[in-house]
Amino acid sequence: MTAAGPTFAPVESALSLPSHRLALDKPLAAGDILAIFAAARRLQAHAHAGTIGKPLHGKNIALLLGRSPSGETSALHRAALELGARVAEVPFAEPAGVSGRDDIRGLARMLRRMYDAIDCGTLAAVTVRQIEQEAAGVPVYAGLALEDHLVQVLADLMTLCDHRPPSASKASKPSILYLGDPRTKRGRAFLAAARQIGFEVRLGQRLQAASNDATIFVVDATHHPRWALHSPSSMLDEARRSETHRRVMQAVLLDTIERV
């Protein structure tokens, strides 16, 4: 029998929280954020070395699809498959009214029996909460791969950390110029997390981004939902950014599923 692959130590602080805590309105402490980064970097190192194995071998994950699925394999689907999980895409149109709540209750209980984790994609928050209540004991995610999920916020922040120029002084505080509305849920979560791990954050305008050489990074959040991340010299590499997002998702999957 082929071994399932390496066993990854769970993240002690952040990912030991229930999966619903990974939300934009529930900020994490600095230690939690850095623990997630460490887990994602371990996964990245194993992937590059060809030793990532299949740590979720034998696990089943349900991805609930809304009324208009794109037909493309999602980033979460691919991330879970790489870890050896079996992934089922389950079409689900949210029902309305009292009978609809009964339908959701029945679906959630069925999913709890059949799957080790459930991702609710773009379903309404109230539906996600009901599924989470009825599927107690199984991790339920509120769209783990979505641009507006905390995982994307953390992945973008980790990308900035990993692109810090080697010439930057370790004693100096890394700096971000944030362009866009800081009052959105995603904006607030990003700025809070950046400050937690030691970034100096400035709110500014596009003209400042062109003239302020002292700013190490520019985060352009003016075009929702896809933010643009820039180093002092250029836009950051999208392929590496996507890989970082995948590794953060995988860190969440591994810890929350293996802990159940």
pLDDT at 152 > cutoff 90 = yes
pLDDT band at 101 (very low <50, low <70, confident <90, very high): confident
Task: Compute φ and ψ for 34, nearest 5 degrees.
Answer: -65, -30
- Note the pLDDT of residue 10: 44
CB 187 within 8 A of CB 221: yes
The residue behind tokens 């994950």 is: 61
Q: 5-17: string of b/e by CB count within 10 Å (b at 16+)?
A: beebebbebbbee
Report how far residue 104's alpha carbon sits from residue 95's, in angstroms, rounded to the nearest whole number.
8
Taking phi over 0 as left and psi of -120 to 50 as alpha, with beta for the rest, 165 belongs to: beta
Mean pLDDT of 213-240: 83
Output the average pLDDT for the chain: 84
| Segment 206-218, tens digit of pLDDT | 655 555 555 589 9
- Note the pLDDT of residue 26: 74
Mean pLDDT of 150-170: 85
Mean pLDDT of 43-65: 95
Name all domains of the chain by residue range, CATH numbers in brackets: 14-147+244-258 (3.40.50.1370), 150-236 (3.40.1010)
Q: Which two tokens stand for residue 178?
A: 């944030």
Q: What is the strand order of the sheet 228-230 is part of?
A: 200-204, 175-179, 217-220, 228-230
- Note the pLDDT of residue 210: 52
- Note the pLDDT of residue 15: 46
- Note the pLDDT of residue 237: 84
56, burial (CB in 10 Å: exposed 0-12, middle 13-18, buried 19+)? buried
Mode of pairing for the β-strands spanning 117-119 and 60-65: parallel
pLDDT band at 65 (very low <50, low <70, confident <90, very high): confident
